[in-house]
Copies of this chain bind each other. A is one copy, B any other.
Amino acid sequence: MNYQIELRHFIYFLAVAEELHYRKAAEKLFISQPGLSTQIKQMEEILQTQLFVRDKKKVRLTPAGEFLKKEVEFILNHLDQTKKQLKLIGQGHMGEVRIGFLGSAMQNVVPNLLVGLKEKYPLVHTTLEELSNRAQVNAILSDRLDLGFVRMSRVPKGLEVKPVFEDTFSLVLPQGHPINMNNFNSIDQLANEDFILFSQDYSPEYYDTVLSICEDSGFVPKVSHKSVHAQTIFKLVENKLGIAIVPTTLQHGFQMDVKFIEMKRIKQRAVLSMVWKADNRNPALKNCMDLLLKL
Protein backbone atom coordinates (compact mmCIF):
# COMPACT_ATOMS: atom_id res chain seq x y z
CA MET A 1 0.00 0.00 0.00
CA ASN A 2 2.74 2.37 0.97
CA TYR A 3 5.28 1.82 -1.77
CA GLN A 4 8.00 4.09 -3.03
CA ILE A 5 8.65 5.22 -6.57
CA GLU A 6 11.62 3.43 -8.12
CA LEU A 7 13.60 3.96 -11.29
CA ARG A 8 11.96 0.79 -12.61
CA HIS A 9 8.66 2.65 -12.61
CA PHE A 10 10.18 5.47 -14.61
CA ILE A 11 11.61 3.13 -17.20
CA TYR A 12 8.29 1.34 -17.54
CA PHE A 13 6.40 4.61 -17.66
CA LEU A 14 8.63 5.97 -20.39
CA ALA A 15 8.13 2.87 -22.51
CA VAL A 16 4.36 3.18 -22.28
CA ALA A 17 4.50 6.94 -22.82
CA GLU A 18 6.52 6.35 -25.97
CA GLU A 19 4.58 3.42 -27.38
CA LEU A 20 1.15 4.45 -26.05
CA HIS A 21 0.45 0.74 -26.18
CA TYR A 22 0.85 -1.61 -23.20
CA ARG A 23 1.59 -4.81 -25.07
CA LYS A 24 4.19 -3.21 -27.34
CA ALA A 25 5.78 -1.42 -24.42
CA ALA A 26 5.89 -4.67 -22.45
CA GLU A 27 7.59 -6.41 -25.36
CA LYS A 28 10.17 -3.67 -25.59
CA LEU A 29 10.86 -4.05 -21.89
CA PHE A 30 10.97 -7.85 -22.08
CA ILE A 31 8.31 -8.20 -19.41
CA SER A 32 4.72 -9.40 -19.52
CA GLN A 33 1.85 -7.03 -20.27
CA PRO A 34 -0.04 -7.64 -17.00
CA GLY A 35 3.10 -6.89 -15.04
CA LEU A 36 3.46 -3.61 -16.85
CA SER A 37 -0.19 -2.74 -16.27
CA THR A 38 0.04 -3.27 -12.54
CA GLN A 39 3.29 -1.37 -12.23
CA ILE A 40 1.90 1.66 -14.03
CA LYS A 41 -1.22 1.51 -11.95
CA GLN A 42 0.86 1.31 -8.80
CA MET A 43 2.87 4.29 -9.99
CA GLU A 44 -0.28 6.34 -10.42
CA GLU A 45 -1.32 5.39 -6.91
CA ILE A 46 2.03 6.34 -5.42
CA LEU A 47 2.06 9.68 -7.20
CA GLN A 48 -1.65 10.15 -6.55
CA THR A 49 -1.96 11.39 -10.09
CA GLN A 50 -3.43 9.84 -13.20
CA LEU A 51 -0.79 9.61 -15.91
CA PHE A 52 -2.63 7.85 -18.73
CA VAL A 53 -6.16 7.92 -20.09
CA ARG A 54 -7.30 4.52 -21.38
CA ASP A 55 -10.56 4.96 -23.22
CA LYS A 56 -11.84 2.99 -26.17
CA LYS A 57 -8.69 1.03 -26.91
CA LYS A 58 -6.57 4.16 -26.96
CA VAL A 59 -3.85 5.02 -24.48
CA ARG A 60 -3.07 8.72 -24.12
CA LEU A 61 -1.04 10.81 -21.70
CA THR A 62 -2.76 13.21 -19.34
CA PRO A 63 -1.23 16.69 -19.02
CA ALA A 64 0.40 15.45 -15.81
CA GLY A 65 1.73 12.43 -17.71
CA GLU A 66 3.02 14.70 -20.43
CA PHE A 67 4.87 16.73 -17.83
CA LEU A 68 6.24 13.65 -16.11
CA LYS A 69 7.49 12.24 -19.39
CA LYS A 70 9.73 15.26 -19.93
CA GLU A 71 11.01 15.11 -16.37
CA VAL A 72 11.66 11.37 -16.51
CA GLU A 73 13.55 11.76 -19.76
CA PHE A 74 15.68 14.39 -18.09
CA ILE A 75 16.25 12.36 -14.95
CA LEU A 76 17.17 9.15 -16.75
CA ASN A 77 19.45 11.02 -19.09
CA HIS A 78 21.13 12.83 -16.23
CA LEU A 79 21.55 9.52 -14.45
CA ASP A 80 23.24 8.05 -17.47
CA GLN A 81 25.71 10.92 -17.64
CA THR A 82 26.37 10.58 -13.94
CA LYS A 83 27.12 6.88 -14.24
CA LYS A 84 29.60 7.53 -17.03
CA GLN A 85 31.33 10.31 -15.15
CA LEU A 86 31.38 8.24 -11.99
CA LYS A 87 33.20 5.47 -13.77
CA LEU A 88 35.73 7.89 -15.21
CA ILE A 89 36.37 9.32 -11.76
CA GLY A 90 36.67 5.83 -10.29
CA GLN A 91 39.26 4.95 -12.90
CA GLY A 92 41.15 8.18 -12.32
CA HIS A 93 40.49 9.44 -15.82
CA MET A 94 38.67 12.44 -14.40
CA GLY A 95 39.04 14.48 -11.28
CA GLU A 96 41.53 16.69 -9.52
CA VAL A 97 45.08 16.24 -8.27
CA ARG A 98 46.31 18.86 -5.86
CA ILE A 99 50.06 19.28 -6.31
CA GLY A 100 52.63 21.08 -4.16
CA PHE A 101 56.21 21.69 -5.26
CA LEU A 102 59.52 23.35 -4.53
CA GLY A 103 60.33 26.14 -6.98
CA SER A 104 63.14 24.08 -8.50
CA ALA A 105 60.68 21.33 -9.56
CA MET A 106 59.20 23.80 -12.02
CA GLN A 107 62.34 23.47 -14.08
CA ASN A 108 61.28 20.26 -15.79
CA VAL A 109 59.56 17.63 -13.63
CA VAL A 110 56.26 19.43 -12.95
CA PRO A 111 55.87 20.91 -16.46
CA ASN A 112 56.52 17.49 -18.02
CA LEU A 113 53.95 15.92 -15.72
CA LEU A 114 51.33 18.53 -16.60
CA VAL A 115 51.91 18.09 -20.32
CA GLY A 116 51.71 14.32 -19.98
CA LEU A 117 48.53 14.51 -17.93
CA LYS A 118 46.86 16.85 -20.34
CA GLU A 119 47.62 14.47 -23.14
CA LYS A 120 46.65 11.19 -21.49
CA TYR A 121 43.94 12.33 -19.06
CA PRO A 122 42.53 15.60 -20.41
CA LEU A 123 39.71 15.51 -17.83
CA VAL A 124 42.06 15.39 -14.87
CA HIS A 125 42.55 18.89 -13.46
CA THR A 126 45.46 20.00 -11.30
CA THR A 127 45.88 22.71 -8.72
CA LEU A 128 49.46 23.86 -8.12
CA GLU A 129 51.05 25.50 -5.13
CA GLU A 130 54.69 26.37 -4.49
CA LEU A 131 55.50 25.38 -0.92
CA SER A 132 58.46 24.48 1.31
CA ASN A 133 59.23 20.83 2.05
CA ARG A 134 57.66 21.07 5.49
CA ALA A 135 54.54 22.88 4.27
CA GLN A 136 54.00 20.21 1.62
CA VAL A 137 54.34 17.38 4.10
CA ASN A 138 51.86 19.04 6.47
CA ALA A 139 49.38 19.70 3.66
CA ILE A 140 49.56 16.09 2.52
CA LEU A 141 49.14 14.77 6.07
CA SER A 142 46.01 16.86 6.53
CA ASP A 143 44.62 15.93 3.10
CA ARG A 144 44.98 19.40 1.62
CA LEU A 145 47.39 18.12 -1.05
CA ASP A 146 47.55 14.87 -2.97
CA LEU A 147 51.13 15.03 -4.21
CA GLY A 148 54.27 16.94 -3.30
CA PHE A 149 57.64 17.46 -4.95
CA VAL A 150 60.31 17.80 -2.33
CA ARG A 151 64.00 17.35 -1.65
CA MET A 152 64.03 14.95 1.27
CA SER A 153 64.49 11.23 1.70
CA ARG A 154 62.72 10.48 4.96
CA VAL A 155 59.08 11.40 5.59
CA PRO A 156 56.65 11.04 8.54
CA LYS A 157 54.72 7.81 9.06
CA GLY A 158 51.77 7.47 6.74
CA LEU A 159 53.55 9.16 3.83
CA GLU A 160 55.61 7.65 1.06
CA VAL A 161 58.46 9.09 -1.02
CA LYS A 162 59.97 8.14 -4.30
CA PRO A 163 62.78 9.90 -6.24
CA VAL A 164 61.67 11.17 -9.61
CA PHE A 165 64.64 13.21 -10.82
CA GLU A 166 68.34 13.21 -10.08
CA ASP A 167 70.53 16.16 -10.97
CA THR A 168 74.21 16.98 -10.62
CA PHE A 169 75.29 20.11 -8.77
CA SER A 170 76.82 23.13 -10.46
CA LEU A 171 78.94 25.97 -9.19
CA VAL A 172 77.56 29.39 -9.96
CA LEU A 173 80.22 32.12 -10.34
CA PRO A 174 80.14 35.76 -11.39
CA GLN A 175 81.33 36.41 -14.94
CA GLY A 176 84.66 38.00 -13.97
CA HIS A 177 85.68 35.24 -11.56
CA PRO A 178 89.17 33.71 -12.13
CA ILE A 179 87.90 30.10 -11.91
CA ASN A 180 86.41 28.76 -15.10
CA MET A 181 85.49 25.50 -16.83
CA ASN A 182 89.14 24.84 -17.74
CA ASN A 183 91.00 25.62 -14.56
CA PHE A 184 88.33 24.25 -12.19
CA ASN A 185 89.37 21.11 -10.44
CA SER A 186 87.88 20.86 -7.00
CA ILE A 187 85.55 22.85 -4.79
CA ASP A 188 88.32 23.53 -2.28
CA GLN A 189 89.71 26.09 -4.75
CA LEU A 190 86.80 28.20 -3.53
CA ALA A 191 87.11 27.52 0.18
CA ASN A 192 87.57 31.20 1.01
CA GLU A 193 84.64 32.51 -1.01
CA ASP A 194 81.33 33.72 0.43
CA PHE A 195 78.58 31.18 -0.23
CA ILE A 196 74.94 31.89 -1.09
CA LEU A 197 72.67 28.95 -0.31
CA PHE A 198 69.01 27.99 -0.32
CA SER A 199 67.41 28.69 3.08
CA GLN A 200 67.88 25.93 5.57
CA ASP A 201 64.30 25.79 6.85
CA TYR A 202 62.90 25.79 3.33
CA SER A 203 64.73 22.55 2.54
CA PRO A 204 66.90 21.29 5.43
CA GLU A 205 68.10 18.09 3.87
CA TYR A 206 69.10 19.85 0.67
CA TYR A 207 71.03 22.39 2.74
CA ASP A 208 72.91 19.63 4.48
CA THR A 209 73.73 18.01 1.15
CA VAL A 210 75.31 21.19 -0.15
CA LEU A 211 77.30 21.58 3.05
CA SER A 212 78.50 18.00 2.73
CA ILE A 213 79.98 18.77 -0.66
CA CYS A 214 82.27 21.29 0.98
CA GLU A 215 82.95 19.05 3.96
CA ASP A 216 84.09 16.28 1.61
CA SER A 217 86.70 18.73 0.30
CA GLY A 218 87.74 19.50 3.83
CA PHE A 219 86.32 22.95 4.54
CA VAL A 220 83.28 24.59 6.04
CA PRO A 221 81.87 27.27 3.75
CA LYS A 222 81.27 30.83 4.87
CA VAL A 223 77.59 31.40 4.23
CA SER A 224 76.88 35.06 3.59
CA HIS A 225 73.34 34.90 2.23
CA LYS A 226 70.39 32.53 2.22
CA SER A 227 67.42 32.71 -0.09
CA VAL A 228 64.30 30.81 -1.11
CA HIS A 229 64.30 31.70 -4.80
CA ALA A 230 66.85 30.69 -7.41
CA GLN A 231 66.33 33.98 -9.18
CA THR A 232 67.50 35.86 -6.07
CA ILE A 233 70.57 33.67 -5.70
CA PHE A 234 71.61 34.29 -9.31
CA LYS A 235 71.16 38.02 -8.93
CA LEU A 236 73.38 38.01 -5.83
CA VAL A 237 76.10 36.06 -7.66
CA GLU A 238 75.81 38.35 -10.66
CA ASN A 239 76.52 41.28 -8.34
CA LYS A 240 79.59 39.52 -6.96
CA LEU A 241 78.11 39.11 -3.48
CA GLY A 242 79.16 35.47 -3.36
CA ILE A 243 79.14 32.15 -5.20
CA ALA A 244 76.53 29.40 -5.12
CA ILE A 245 76.00 25.67 -5.55
CA VAL A 246 72.71 24.76 -7.21
CA PRO A 247 71.15 21.85 -9.13
CA THR A 248 72.43 21.93 -12.71
CA THR A 249 69.04 22.16 -14.38
CA LEU A 250 68.56 25.62 -12.88
CA GLN A 251 70.99 26.81 -15.54
CA HIS A 252 68.05 27.01 -17.92
CA GLY A 253 64.97 29.12 -17.60
CA PHE A 254 66.41 32.19 -15.94
CA GLN A 255 67.60 35.48 -17.32
CA MET A 256 71.07 35.95 -15.83
CA ASP A 257 74.72 36.71 -16.47
CA VAL A 258 76.75 34.14 -14.48
CA LYS A 259 79.04 31.17 -15.13
CA PHE A 260 77.86 27.58 -14.53
CA ILE A 261 80.43 24.90 -13.82
CA GLU A 262 78.97 21.43 -13.51
CA MET A 263 80.60 19.25 -10.87
CA LYS A 264 80.15 15.78 -12.33
CA ARG A 265 82.81 14.07 -10.28
CA ILE A 266 81.37 14.63 -6.81
CA LYS A 267 79.06 11.92 -5.48
CA GLN A 268 76.24 14.21 -4.23
CA ARG A 269 73.17 14.55 -6.33
CA ALA A 270 70.21 16.91 -6.11
CA VAL A 271 67.36 14.45 -5.76
CA LEU A 272 63.78 15.55 -6.33
CA SER A 273 61.19 13.17 -4.89
CA MET A 274 57.46 12.91 -4.93
CA VAL A 275 55.59 12.47 -1.61
CA TRP A 276 52.04 11.27 -1.05
CA LYS A 277 49.82 9.83 1.63
CA ALA A 278 49.91 6.03 1.62
CA ASP A 279 46.14 5.70 2.02
CA ASN A 280 45.14 8.37 -0.50
CA ARG A 281 42.25 6.92 -2.50
CA ASN A 282 42.18 9.47 -5.29
CA PRO A 283 42.40 7.28 -8.42
CA ALA A 284 43.58 10.26 -10.41
CA LEU A 285 46.61 10.48 -8.13
CA LYS A 286 47.56 6.90 -8.89
CA ASN A 287 47.37 7.52 -12.63
CA CYS A 288 49.32 10.73 -12.16
CA MET A 289 52.16 8.98 -10.34
CA ASP A 290 52.27 6.08 -12.78
CA LEU A 291 52.54 8.56 -15.60
CA LEU A 292 55.32 10.42 -13.85
CA LEU A 293 57.43 7.30 -13.42
CA LYS A 294 57.11 6.53 -17.12
CA LEU A 295 58.28 9.97 -18.25
- Residues of A in contact with B (beta carbons under 8 Å apart): 4-8, 47-50, 53, 55, 60, 62-64, 67-68, 71, 74-75, 78-79, 82-83, 85-87, 89-90, 95-96, 279, 281-284
Residue of A5, A79, A281 with most chain B CB atoms under a 10 A cut-off: A281
Q: Using Cβ atoms and an 8 Å threshold, which residues of chain B touch A60?
A: 281
- The answer on a CB contact under 8 Å between A284 and B6 is no
A170 → chain B, closest Cβ, in Å? 41
Partner of A282, one of B48, B55, B63, B96: B63
Contact of A53 with B281 at beta-carbon distance under 8 Å, contacts A7-B4, A79-B75 already known: yes
Copies of the protein in its oligomer: 2
Q: Using Cβ atoms and an 8 Å threshold, which residues of chain B touch A90?
A: 47-50, 62, 64
- The answer on a CB contact under 8 Å between B89 and A63 is yes
Interface of A, helix, strand, loop or mixed by DSSP: helix
Residue of A5, A47, A67 with most chain B CB atoms under a 10 A cut-off: A67
- The answer on a CB contact under 8 Å between A284 and B47 is no
Q: Using Cβ atoms and an 8 Å threshold, which residues of chain B touch A79?
A: 5, 75
A-B contact list, 8 entries, CB within 8 Å: A4-B8, A5-B7, A48-B87, A49-B89, A53-B281, A62-B281, A63-B96, A68-B86
A28 → chain B, closest Cβ, in Å? 16
- In whole angstroms, how far apart are the Cα atoms of A284 and B8 in the complex? 29
Q: Using Cβ atoms and an 8 Å threshold, which residues of chain B touch A282?
A: 62-63
- In whole angstroms, how far apart are the Cα atoms of A207 and B85 in the complex? 68
Q: Using Cβ atoms and an 8 Å threshold, which residues of chain B touch A55?
A: 279
Q: Using Cβ atoms and an 8 Å threshold, which residues of chain B touch A6?
A: 6-8
- The answer on a CB contact under 8 Å between A95 and B63 is yes
- The answer on a CB contact under 8 Å between A82 and B71 is yes
Q: Using Cβ atoms and an 8 Å threshold, which residues of chain B touch A281?
A: 50, 53, 60, 62-63
Given A4-B8, A64-B283, 8 new contacts (CB under 8 A): A5-B7, A47-B83, A53-B279, A53-B281, A63-B96, A63-B281, A71-B86, A75-B78
A167 → chain B, closest Cβ, in Å? 33
- The answer on a CB contact under 8 Å between A49 and B8 is no
A66 → chain B, closest Cβ, in Å? 9
A3 → chain B, closest Cβ, in Å? 11
Q: Which 10 A-B pairs have the closest CB atoms?
A: A49-B90, A64-B90, A64-B89, A71-B82, A6-B6, A62-B281, A53-B281, A49-B86, A63-B282, A6-B7
- In whole angstroms, how far apart are the Cα atoms of A79 and B4 in the complex? 12
Residue of A63, A281, A282 with most chain B CB atoms under a 10 A cut-off: A63
Residue of B nearest to A146 (CB): B63
- In whole angstroms, how far apart are the Cα atoms of A74 and B284 in the complex? 24
